[in-house]
């Protein structure tokens, strides 16, 4: 119909293969088809190159040898194995890709049906590291998939199913005592920083590497970790009269890892400074310090802990924001993304509150509320930015680049910028994932020196700093330093 009645083509620019081969002559006409055959014969007289593809005399080849695609998991069953997602995946050069993760799940299913227990076990064991451990569950694959498959959702569910009831209870206990956990982590970071200052800056890296051999889930210390930031700034905010007021939620990452380098302000002090210069009043609610965005639980598949934390967070923020009247600003983009997508984990009542809350990522805040108020600025020279994958998923990458262009003369967005593989804390557990994921971007950035290196998520900044050997910092610093 398409070819004969409408004089159309059977397909776009690719994908003839064997599937369309019986119809190529109908589409192009006998004369051109004959020329194609002669051309193929001239180039490949022994028919070694892709035999049967495009040129095929079998009129039924399109219904022969059809590859079975067994249904495996609802998250990925629509996959047609086209591979469009592969270039997005941070683990593509280390272990495997989203498409291949799905192919392996299908292969496992086929083995199970065949009763091939031996090979099933071998492949399942290999899938643990290649498929499960090194998936950053960042969901970037979904942004390139024509049928919206997020392989990370499958991996999260598999992680969930792998947890024992004891592990789930332990995670819930951590969630319920998160304030104490953050306090303990800050204490451990301080102790580690002291160890490094006494015994040498690589001491903690060596110690944690040794411990990881005994406890595989042990996070590794990196050279980017320093003593935790001083929180006195957010504990002592003075209330000024200002046109606008927002609630500032310092993420737990900022509270633990947000120290400034080389004597600079820490991340929270910088947020307050930027806001003050823009005449925006900031309030930091005291009741939220035992909470987090719940990404640490959701990415690892701890369902009960995730639900508990998501609901607790919304309850506290609902109260702090005066029942959704005040905007709530999150200083780490990946946390903002998690919060904006936590609705399905909430109770009915919290879902109603969630719908009324105005949650802003710091990039939205800086772009929409701060930038318009700052006319007199001193632009930075040449800067390079790392747009984190959460910005891509929130569709705010352009705002981030706009911000950088407003506060710097020249802005480079690396062609190879992509997910750094840090995924909250995955890079601390499997640093080889981050090293592999950041390499193409790092090689590009290292071609020259820049006046500043900026991003909007602390852990991604740490990964990029390690890869490029320069200090990546929050874009908050660019704004703060551009305005006196
Ligand atoms: S892009 Fe989507 S359909 Fe194509 S291989 Fe990847 S997951 Fe499958
Ligand atoms: S979620 Fe991320 S790491 Fe996992 S398969 Fe998709 S792109 Fe790769």
- Classify strands 408-412 and 380-385 as parallel, antiparallel or unpaired: parallel
Cβ-in-10-Å burial (0-12, 13-18, 19+) of 380 comes to buried
Q: What backbone phi and psi angles, to 5 degrees, belong to 136?
A: -80, 0
Q: Which atom of ligand 2 is nearest to the CA of 152?
A: 1
Cβ-in-10-Å burial (0-12, 13-18, 19+) of 198 comes to exposed
- Looking at the structure, tell me whether residues 52 and 92 fall in a common domain: no
- What span, in angstroms and rounded, lies between the C-alpha atoms of 88 and 143? 8
Residue 251 CA to ligand 2 centre (angstroms) = 24
- Looking at the structure, tell me whether residues 91 and 15 fall in a common domain: no
Residue 28 CA to ligand 1 centre (angstroms) = 30
- What span, in angstroms and rounded, lies between the C-alpha atoms of 54 and 16? 6
- Using DSSP's 3-state secondary structure scheme, residue 228 falls into coil
Neighbour count for residue 63 (Cβ, 10 Å): 9
Our CA angle for 360, 330, 437, nearest 5°, is 105
Which of 66, 98, 116 is the last residue in one of the domains?
66
Q: Which atom of ligand 1 is nearest to the CA of 148?
A: 2
CA-closest residue to ligand 2 atom 5: 98
- Looking at the structure, tell me whether residues 54 and 94 fall in a common domain: no
Q: What are the residues whose beta carbons fall under 8 Å from the beta carbon of 424, sequence distance 6 or more?
A: 253, 295, 296, 299, 334, 459
Residue 20 CA to ligand 1 centre (angstroms) = 21
pLDDT tens digits along 111-127: 999 999 999 999 999 99
Which of 113, 136, 162 is the last residue in one of the domains?
162
Which of 118, 143, 162 is the last residue in one of the domains?
162
Residue 78 CA to ligand 2 centre (angstroms) = 17
Asked if the structure places residue 189 within a domain, the reply is no
Measured in whole angstroms, how far is the alpha carbon of residue 371 from the centre of its chain?
A: 26
Asked if the structure places residue 352 within a domain, the reply is no
- What span, in angstroms and rounded, lies between the C-alpha atoms of 385 and 366? 15
Can you read off the two tokens belonging to residue 348? 């009915």
Residue 101 CA to ligand 2 centre (angstroms) = 9
More confidently predicted of 403 and 67 = 403
Q: Which of 24-28, 38-42, 455-459 has the lowest mean pLDDT?
A: 24-28
Residue 7 CA to ligand 2 centre (angstroms) = 41
Residue 96 CA to ligand 1 centre (angstroms) = 13
- Overall average pLDDT of the 38-62 stretch: 93
Residue 413 in contact with residue 359, Cβ under 8 Å?
A: no
Q: Which of 466, 391, 424 is nearest to 252 (CA)?
A: 424
* Complex ipTM value: 0.97
- Overall average pLDDT of the 393-409 stretch: 96
> In this structure, which ligand is nearest to the CA of 78?
1
State whether the beta carbon of 135 lies less than 6 angstroms from ligand 2. yes
CA-closest residue to ligand 2 atom 7: 89
- The neighbouring-strand residues paired with 245 are 281
Residue range of the domain that includes 61: 1-66
- Looking at the structure, tell me whether residues 387 and 473 fall in a common domain: yes
Residue 83 CA to ligand 1 centre (angstroms) = 5
- Looking at the structure, tell me whether residues 58 and 108 fall in a common domain: no
State whether the beta carbon of 137 lies less than 6 angstroms from ligand 2. yes
Asked if the structure places residue 244 within a domain, the reply is no
- Using DSSP's 3-state secondary structure scheme, residue 339 falls into helix
Buried-state track 149-180, b at ≥16 Cβ within 10 A, e below 16 = bbbbbbbbebbbeebeeeebeebbebbeebee
Asked if the structure places residue 73 within a domain, the reply is no
- Looking at the structure, tell me whether residues 48 and 96 fall in a common domain: no
- Alpha helices, DSSP H, located in 385-454: 389-394, 397-407, 426-429, 431-445
Total count of domains within the chain = 3
- Looking at the structure, tell me whether residues 62 and 90 fall in a common domain: no
- What is the structure's pLDDT at 18? 87
Residue 3 in contact with residue 9, Cβ under 8 Å?
A: yes
- What span, in angstroms and rounded, lies between the C-alpha atoms of 171 and 177? 10
> In this structure, which ligand is nearest to the CA of 145?
1
Residue 414 CA to ligand 2 centre (angstroms) = 20
Asked if the structure places residue 131 within a domain, the reply is yes
- Using DSSP's 3-state secondary structure scheme, residue 410 falls into strand
CA-closest residue to ligand 2 atom 6: 141
Mean pLDDT of the chain: 90
- What is the structure's pLDDT at 13? 67
Residue 119 in contact with residue 111, Cβ under 8 Å?
A: yes
Q: What are the residues whose beta carbons fall under 8 Å from the beta carbon of 338, sequence distance 6 or more?
A: 293, 294, 295, 298
Query: Ligand 2, residues 100, 136, 338: which to mutate, most atoms within 8 A of Cβ?
Result: 136
Measured in whole angstroms, how far is the alpha carbon of residue 464 from the centre of its chain?
A: 14
Q: What is the side-by-side strand order in the sheet with 452-455?
A: 408-412, 380-385, 452-455, 472-474
Cβ-in-10-Å burial (0-12, 13-18, 19+) of 437 comes to buried
pLDDT band at 191; cut points 50, 70, 90? confident
- Looking at the structure, tell me whether residues 56 and 96 fall in a common domain: no
Q: Which of 235-239, 286-290, 348-352 has the lowest mean pLDDT?
A: 235-239
CA-closest residue to ligand 2 atom 4: 135
pLDDT tens digits along 162-173: 889 999 999 999
- What is the structure's pLDDT at 483? 87
Asked if the structure places residue 8 within a domain, the reply is yes
- Looking at the structure, tell me whether residues 28 and 107 fall in a common domain: no
- What is the structure's pLDDT at 374? 79
Given phi > 0 = left and psi -120 to 50 = alpha, else beta, which region is 90?
A: alpha
State whether the beta carbon of 389 lies less than 6 angstroms from ligand 2. no
State whether the beta carbon of 141 lies less than 6 angstroms from ligand 2. yes
- The neighbouring-strand residues paired with 384 are 412, 453
State whether the beta carbon of 80 lies less than 6 angstroms from ligand 1. yes
Find the CATH number of the domain harbouring 424.
Answer: 3.40.50
Query: 182-190 — which CB contacts under 8 Å span 24+ positions?
Result: 182/252, 182/255, 182/256, 182/289, 182/290, 182/292, 185/228, 185/256, 186/228, 186/255, 186/256, 189/225, 189/226, 189/227, 189/228, 189/256, 189/257, 190/227, 190/228
In this model, does residue 153 exceed pLDDT 80?
Answer: yes
State whether the beta carbon of 317 lies less than 6 angstroms from ligand 1. no
In this model, does residue 418 exceed pLDDT 80?
Answer: yes
- Using DSSP's 3-state secondary structure scheme, residue 174 falls into helix
- Looking at the structure, tell me whether residues 30 and 91 fall in a common domain: no
Asked if the structure places residue 117 within a domain, the reply is yes
Residue 408 parent element (H or E): strand 408-412
- Looking at the structure, tell me whether residues 394 and 474 fall in a common domain: yes
- What span, in angstroms and rounded, lies between the C-alpha atoms of 24 and 155? 41
Query: Ligand 1, residues 99, 139, 146: which to mutate, most atoms within 8 A of Cβ?
Result: 99
In this model, does residue 317 exceed pLDDT 90?
Answer: yes
Q: Which of 49-63, 83-97, 221-235 has the lowest mean pLDDT?
A: 221-235
Angle 303-320/165-176 helices, nearest 10 degrees? Answer: 20
Can you read off the two tokens belonging to residue 106? 């299908």
Asked if the structure places residue 245 within a domain, the reply is no
- Using DSSP's 3-state secondary structure scheme, residue 155 falls into helix
- Overall average pLDDT of the 182-199 stretch: 80
Please name the residue that has the structure tokens 């946390």: 335
Q: Which atom of ligand 1 is nearest to the CA of 78?
A: 3
């Amino acid at each position: 119909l398409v070819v004969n009645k409408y004089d159309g083509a059977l397909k776009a620019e690719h994908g003839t293969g064997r599937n369309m081969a019986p119809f190529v002559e109908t589409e192009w006409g006998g004369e051109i088809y004959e020329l194609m055959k002669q051309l193929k014969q001239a180039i490949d007289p022994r028919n070694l190159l892709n035999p049967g593809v495009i040129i095929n005399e079998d009129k039924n080849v399109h219904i022969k040898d059809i590859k079975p695609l067994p249904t495996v998991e609802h998250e990925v069953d629509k996959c047609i194995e086209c591979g469009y997602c592969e270039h997005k995946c941070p683990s593509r050069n280390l272990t495997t890709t989203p498409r291949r993760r799905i192919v392996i799940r299908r292969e496992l299913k086929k083995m199970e049906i065949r009763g091939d227990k031996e090979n099933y076990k071998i492949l399942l064991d290999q899938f643990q590291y290649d498929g499960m451990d090194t998936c950053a569950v960042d969901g970037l694959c979904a942004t390139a998939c024509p049928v919206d498959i997020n392989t990370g959702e499958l991996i999260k569910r598999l992680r969930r199913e792998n947890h024992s009831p004891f592990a789930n209870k332990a995670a819930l206990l951590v969630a319920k005592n998160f304030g104490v956990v953050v306090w303990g982590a800050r204490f451990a970071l301080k102790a580690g920083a002291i160890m490094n200052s006494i015994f040498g800056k690589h001491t903690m890296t060596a110690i944690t590497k040794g411990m990881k051999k005994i406890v595989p889930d042990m996070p590794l210390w990196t050279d980017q970790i320093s003593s935790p930031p001083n929180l006195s700034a957010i504990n002592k905010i003075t209330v000024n009269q200002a046109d606008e007021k927002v609630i500032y939620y310092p993420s737990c990452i900022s509270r633990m890892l947000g120290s400034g380098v080389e004597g600079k302000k820490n991340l929270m002090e910088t947020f307050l400074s930027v806001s003050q210069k823009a005449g925006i009043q900031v309030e930091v609610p005291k009741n939220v310090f035992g909470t987090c965005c719940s990404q640490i639980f959701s990415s690892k598949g701890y369902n009960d802990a995730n639900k508990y934390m998501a609901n607790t967070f919304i309850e506290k923020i609902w109260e702090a924001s005066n029942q959704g009247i005040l905007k709530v600003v999150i200083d780490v983009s990946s946390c903002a993304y998690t919060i904006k997508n936590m609705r399905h984990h909430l109770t009915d009542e919290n879902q109603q509150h969630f719908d009324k809350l105005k949650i802003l990522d710091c990039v939205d805040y800086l772009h929409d509320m701060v930038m318009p108020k700052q006319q007199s600025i001193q632009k930075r020279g040449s800067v390079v930015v790392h747009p984190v994958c959460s910005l891509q998923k929130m569709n705010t990458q352009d705002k981030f680049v706009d911000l950088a262009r407003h506060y710097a003369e020249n802005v480079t967005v690396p062609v190879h910028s992509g997910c750094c593989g840090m995924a909250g804390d995955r890079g601390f557990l499997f640093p080889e994932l981050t090293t592999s994921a950041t390499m193409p971007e790092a090689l590009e950035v290292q071609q020259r020196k820049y006046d500043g290196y900026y991003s909007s998520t602390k852990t991604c900044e740490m990964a990029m700093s390690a890869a490029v050997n320069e200090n990546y910092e929050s874009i908050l610093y660019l704004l703060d330093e551009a305005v006196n």
